[in-house]
Amino acid sequence: MVKPVPIVRLKKGNMVRVVRLLLSSEDSHLRKMAAFGILPGVLIKILQTYPVFVLEVGYTQIALDFEIAKNIIVTLE
Report the predicted TM-score, pTM, of the whole model to 2 decimal places.
Answer: 0.90
DSSP 73: E
- 71: closest CA among 23, 24, 15, 3? 23
Rounded Cα distance, 21 and 41, in Å: 11
Coil, helix or strand for 35? helix
Looking at residue 64, its pLDDT comes to 94
> Tens of pLDDT along the chain (77 residues)?
589 999 999 999 999 999 999 977 677 888 888 889 999 999 999 999 999 999 999 999 999 999 999 999 999 99
Rounded Cα distance, 27 and 44, in Å: 22
Looking at residue 1, its pLDDT comes to 58
Q: Are the C-beta atoms of 38 and 72 separated by less than 8 Å?
A: yes
Looking at residue 56, its pLDDT comes to 97
Please give the domain boundaries of the chain with CATH numbers for all domains.
Answer: 5-76 (2.30.30.90)
